[in-house]
Amino acid sequence: MQKVSFRGFRGFDPNSPIMTPDYILTVRGLTKTFSGVKALDQVQLNLRKGEVHALMGENGAGKSTFMKILIGLHTPDSGEIIFEGSELKASDVNEILKKGISMIHQEILIVPELTVAQNIFLGQESNRGFFSWIDEKKLNQKAGILLEQMGVTISPTTPMKYLSVAEMQMVEIAKAISNDAKVIIMDEPTSALSDKEVATLFGIIRDLKKKGVAIIYISHKMDEIFEISDTITVLRDGKYIDTKPAAQLDTPTLIKLMVGREIDSLFPVSVAQKGAEILSVKNLSRAGKFSDITFAVHAGEVLGIAGLMGAGRTEIARAIFGLDPVDSGEIYLRGKQLIIKTPQDAIRSGIGYVSEDRKKLGFIPGMSVKHNMTLASLPNHAKGLFIQDKSETATAAQMIADLRIKTAGADQKVTFLSGGNQQKVVIGKVLLASPDLVILDEPTRGIDVGAKFEIYKLINRLVSDGIAVIMISSELPEILGLSDRILVLSKGKQTALLTKAEATQETIMQYAVH
Amino acid sequence: MENPVQTDRNPVGISTKNRIRGIGQYGIFIAFILICLVLSVVTPKFLTVSNLTIVVTQVSINALLAFGVTFVIITGGIDLSIGSTVAVTSVVAASFAHPDTYPVVVPILAGLAAGLLLGAFNGLVITKSKVPPFIVTLGTMTIGRGLALILSKGRPVSNLSDSFNFIGGGHLLGIPTPILILIVFFIICSVVLKKTVLGRYMYAVGGNEQAAQASGIQLNKVKMVVYTLCGGLAALAGILLTSRITTGQPNAGVGFELDAIAAAIIGGTSTSGGTGTMTGTLIGALLIGVISNGLDLMNVTSYYQQVVMGIIIIGAVVLDSLNQNKN
């Protein structure tokens, strides 16, 4: 294998007749239809040994359908998949796994009560059938060697539930390697990792590359894509758009390919006027999570909160919203001290919270868009005990139009919406409780570029309507692009409160690792 | 729709999904009609006013219990204690229902109070201790049975007043009172579930407890109310039963909780919470009643009836999950 010092690109041109690249996986004309709608239409992919191939596209572009076909969860309508020179016809997940295609899912699939080693070898403990004896000692040993090779220090005998998300991810990778995977698909592997953990992951990926393992990498984070990938394939609306070496692309061009139009500026301009102080927090502390946090937010202002994973950002938001208790410190709303014990207290006082974990804290999946949106303000639509359907329906319809939520109707269940639209439903719910302050925790996590832009516009609208906004984000460009002031946290302590003029990616990072 | 789905994953897919789901909701109703049709052909005695009246009268007790347990299951819980609540209520109500002692409201209120108390006890322990409802109500089931035996000293409480016996044994406008009670409480429970804030909160708590909490819903309050309601409906069923058999029975209601849970599940209430309707539960209860009545009419022994009932419960849930998977 050729060694290169610059970003992965090896001068490979798919149309060049001179090179005969050793493709490990070739996909041609892949088409898949769900209920008459083409989820994938003539999709192609050429994957070389030892390359990191990024698969890009907005949510709904067909990435997950594509990957689900590759690992045998879906059967394609037509098209061919050639793996190591022969056509892959199997539609059995286990068979494909044995042939060497593994996937690391976005939602980590582990058995929390089993140990690390037991999880790694789950399903391959022994090849002698159901009732054969498991040699725990040998498995622990093998797992230990595997993890050591990866350069991670996790004990094979630790129960999985005690690991951090990042460590669990490493175990999943170890599992894929133990399976002798030749192709590893990684779906948003860094969505829950800190920068340091991302660096470890990338180190492992580079090692895998050296061993000739090909990686299909799915992520919404542009900087990561350019850091780790060699080749980029773009899908849009289920169609194949283009494949290019990463070195020949930059962020705007890539976004243009993904969205199919140009987004002139990623961050819309805000015209909001800073008003009176809405919330102020004094010496807020919670043992083991954060201490001595002091800041204020004004009407018409976005206060960004930046920091690494585990810096205490979400914990502060949860405490202000009454989801977690605080040990000491005071919270004032419009100068009046508040005692917030439950989310209900917070909502009544005019605080809204859009959680980082949409699925867990945001919405009720089986409920309709309408019912989800009115959930936090239902008494406003009730006379006595009874819900006034007319008032509820009208309010929901207004909000759907207002936030431009794409749904088949107010009675559509939220599960069927795309991530961006689900997020808008959650924001709609929070807004219907008429808050003075909205806390947005990772408001654009896991949603595509186009929808991100709409959320940004929405944030600007909130502040120009005189609402105070606290925005927590791991994406520095987002923090820089939208915040008027930026609170930087490090290990539960506040290390800086920067004005827009003072803040750059570098200064924020400097204070975040303080 | 001015704002149709355009870039969303698949607009056509959504409508097809809804269509399939729609059929799923009516599936139990269609099955019910089909079984009734078959029974009317097989046994001519089935489709007569007198027989159907008997069926519905018999179903009323199970249906009342099932309404209560439907509330509980929608919030993601379970209540195994309602059969014992029936026994406690039966003994308590009967003790106040002897002729020429108290007016008839007294045994009714006393019985209701007993049921509400047991329900509130469940709610209190579940919300305060975080012990799973299955365990807590399993405990209450045993406690309740013991209480019923203690209060009655293990003996049936007989000699009840005529006015009390009218509750479950009388007729109004030619209709047996249990049927009237059933209709009234079916309407009340449906309205609570579909039209009130409380009903909406039940779905929310069962659909995603954490999201419900983050929306400002007081989980403990909702659960408290739901278990208390369930106890109250069980008390009502207990009073009805006592009046029908004209005795307070400490051994009444054994296994009733399972029939009630079965009715709810056959009617489409998911044990994982967040879904279910009173109409579904009513049809579930009627289905159980109609089948055991039909098997009776065909002279099938009760041993076989139990096997058939078990198959129907599993079948209903299997069909439902197949339907879910299709989506």
pLDDT at A356: 86
pTM: 0.75
According to DSSP, the β-strands at A23-34 and A239-245 are unpaired
Residue A4 has pLDDT above 70, yes or no: no
CB contact under 8 A, B215 and A342: no
CB contact under 8 A, A36 and B16: yes
Q: Report the complex ipTM.
A: 0.79
Report the residue of chain A nearest B275, measured CA to CA.
A366
Residues of A in contact with B11 (CB under 8 A): 37, 408
Query: Quick one: average pLDDT of A260-278?
Result: 73
Query: Quick one: average pLDDT of A143-165?
Result: 87
> Coil, strand or helix: which one is A245?
strand
Residues B197-227: tens digit of each pLDDT: 999 999 999 999 999 999 999 999 999 999 9
Residues B55-89: tens digit of each pLDDT: 999 999 999 999 999 999 999 999 999 999 999 99
Residues of B in contact with A376 (CB under 8 A): 215-216
Query: Quick one: average pLDDT of A404-413?
Result: 88
Residues of A in contact with B225 (CB under 8 A): none
CB contact under 8 A, B5 and A408: yes
Q: Mutation target for B interface from A375, A425, A429, A441: give the one with most B CBs within 10 A.
A: A375
Report the residue of chain A nearest B20, measured CA to CA.
A35
Q: What is the number of residues in chain A?
A: 514
Give the DSSP letter string of A114-149.
Answer: SBHHHHHTTT-S-SS-TTSPP-HHHHHHHHHHHHHH
CB contact under 8 A, A343 and B215: yes
Higher pLDDT, B239 or A510: B239
Establish, for the pair of chains A and B, how many residue pairs have beta carbons separated by less than 8 Å: 124
CB contact under 8 A, B7 and A237: yes
- What is the distance in angstroms between the Cα of B198 and the nearest Cα belonging to chain A? 7
Of B12, B197, B214, the CB nearest to A355: B214
What is the distance between the alpha carbons of residues A358 and A24, in angstroms, rounded to a whole number? Answer: 37
CA atoms within 13 A on the CB side of B243: 27
Q: Mutation target for A interface from B6, B8, B196: give the one with most A CBs within 10 A.
A: B8
pLDDT at A87: 87
Residue B137's identity, in one-letter code, is T
Helix (H) or strand (E) holding A395: helix A389-402
Residues of A in contact with B6 (CB under 8 A): 406
pLDDT at B152: 94
Q: Which two tokens stand for residue A357?
A: 């974990």
Answer whether B76's CB lies under 8 Å from B206's CB.
yes
CB contact under 8 A, B10 and A371: no
Residues of B in contact with A343 (CB under 8 A): 213-216
For residue B291, the tally of other CB atoms under 10 A from its CB is 19
Q: Is the dihedral of CA A465, A468, A473, A475 positive or negative?
A: positive
- What is the distance in angstroms between the Cα of B217 and the nearest Cα belonging to chain A? 7
Report the residue of chain B nearest A429, measured CA to CA.
B215
Domains annotated on chain B, with CATH: 46-320 (1.10.3470)
Residues of A in contact with B193 (CB under 8 A): none
Q: Mutation target for A interface from B7, B15, B203: give the one with most A CBs within 10 A.
A: B7
pLDDT at A20: 46
For residue A24, name the pLDDT band (cuts at 50, 70, 90). very high
Residues of B in contact with A346 (CB under 8 A): 216
For residue B295, the tally of other CB atoms under 10 A from its CB is 18
Residues of B in contact with A36 (CB under 8 A): 12-13, 16
Check residue A72 and give left, alpha or beta (phi > 0: left; psi -120 to 50: alpha): left
User: Domain A275-350+435-514 belongs to what architecture?
Assistant: 3-Layer(aba) Sandwich (3.40)
CB contact under 8 A, A347 and B216: yes
Residues of A in contact with B196 (CB under 8 A): 382, 385-387
For residue A1, name the pLDDT band (cuts at 50, 70, 90). very low
CB contact under 8 A, B214 and A323: yes
Q: Which residues of B touch A (CB under 8 A)?
A: 1-18, 195-198, 200-201, 203-204, 207-208, 210-218, 274-275
CB contact under 8 A, A353 and B214: yes
For residue A60, name the pLDDT band (cuts at 50, 70, 90). low
CB contact under 8 A, A375 and B207: no
Q: Cα–chain-centroid distance for residue A11?
A: 32
What is the distance between the alpha carbons of residues A458 and A97, in angstroms, rounded to a whole number? Answer: 44
Q: Which two tokens stand for residue B71?
A: 């509330």
What is the distance between the alpha carbons of residues B58 and A8, in angstroms, rounded to a whole number? Answer: 76
pLDDT at B324: 64
For residue B183, name the pLDDT band (cuts at 50, 70, 90). very high
Residue A295 has pLDDT above 50, yes or no: yes
Residues of A in contact with B215 (CB under 8 A): 343, 347, 375-376, 429
Of B7, B12, B216, the CB nearest to A35: B12
Residues of A in contact with B16 (CB under 8 A): 35-36
Query: Quick one: average pLDDT of A114-131?
Result: 79
What is the distance between the alpha carbons of residues A445 and A327, in angstroms, rounded to a whole number? Answer: 30
The pLDDT mean for chain B works out to 89
Residues of A in contact with B18 (CB under 8 A): 408
Q: Which two tokens stand for residue B88?
A: 């406690």
CB contact under 8 A, A35 and B16: yes
CA atoms within 13 A on the CB side of B320: 22
Residue A260 has pLDDT above 80, yes or no: no
| CA dihedral of residues A415, A420, A426, A431 (deg, nearest 10) | -150
Query: Quick one: average pLDDT of A129-143?
Result: 82
Residue A329 has pLDDT above 70, yes or no: yes
Quote the crossing angle between the two packed helices B219-245 and B197-207, to the nearest 10°. 110
Answer whether A240's CB lies under 8 Å from A65's CB.
no
pLDDT at A407: 86
Report the residue of chain A nearest B4, measured CA to CA.
A408
For residue A127, name the pLDDT band (cuts at 50, 70, 90). low
- What is the distance in angstroms between the Cα of B203 and the nearest Cα belonging to chain A? 8
pLDDT at A385: 87
Residue B27 has pLDDT above 90, yes or no: no
CB contact under 8 A, A416 and B2: no
Q: Mutation target for B interface from A405, A411, A416: give the one with most B CBs within 10 A.
A: A416
Give the DSSP letter string of A32-49.
Answer: EEETTEEEEEEEEEEEET
Q: What does residue B166 show for φ and ψ, rounded to 5 degrees?
A: -65, -30
Residues B90-145: tens digit of each pLDDT: 999 999 999 999 999 999 999 999 999 999 999 999 999 989 999 999 999 999 99
Q: Which two tokens stand for residue A2?
A: 């050729």
Can A1-93+219-265 and A275-350+435-514 be said to share one CATH topology?
yes
Helix ranges (DSSP H) in A190-309: 195-210, 222-228, 251-259
Helices (H) and strands (E) in chain A, counts: 16, 22
CB contact under 8 A, A364 and B3: no
Give the DSSP letter string of B217-238.
Answer: --HHHHHHHHHHHHHHHHHHHH
According to DSSP, the β-strands at A468-472 and A302-306 are parallel
Query: Quick one: average pLDDT of A409-418?
Result: 88
The CA-atom distances, in angstroms, between B171 and each of B58, B178, B307 are 15, 9, 34
Residues of A in contact with B19 (CB under 8 A): none
User: What fold is seen in the domain A1-93+219-265?
Assistant: Rossmann fold (3.40.50)
CB contact under 8 A, A362 and B6: no
Residues of B in contact with A433 (CB under 8 A): 216
Least confident stretch, A197-206, B92-101, B160-169, B281-290: A197-206
DSSP state at residue B265: H
The CA-atom distances, in angstroms, between A193 and each of A52, A167, A201, A202 are 19, 9, 9, 12
β strands within A189-338, DSSP E:
214-218, 231-236, 239-245, 277-286, 290-298, 302-306, 328-333, 336-338
**Percentage of chain B surpassing pLDDT 70?**
91
Q: Cα–chain-centroid distance for residue B252?
A: 16
Residue A108 has pLDDT above 80, yes or no: no
What is the distance between the alpha carbons of residues B21 and B43, in angstroms, rounded to a whole number? Answer: 34
Residue B306 has pLDDT above 80, yes or no: yes
> Coil, strand or helix: which one is B49?
helix
For residue B6, name the pLDDT band (cuts at 50, 70, 90). very low
CB contact under 8 A, A407 and B5: yes
Least confident stretch, A105-109, A125-129, A268-272, A402-406: A125-129
The CA-atom distances, in angstroms, between B131 and each of A364, B124, B138 are 23, 11, 11
The pLDDT mean for chain A works out to 86
Higher pLDDT, A214 or A444: A214
- What is the distance in angstroms between the Cα of B269 and the nearest Cα belonging to chain A? 13
CB contact under 8 A, A387 and B213: no
Contacts of A336 (CB under 8 A, 6+ apart): none
pLDDT at B31: 85
Q: Where are the domains of chain A?
A: 1-93+219-265, 275-350+435-514, 359-434
Residues B273-292: tens digit of each pLDDT: 999 999 999 999 999 999 99
- What is the distance in angstroms between the Cα of A3 and the nearest Cα belonging to chain B? 41
Of A34, A389, A401, the CB nearest to B10: A34
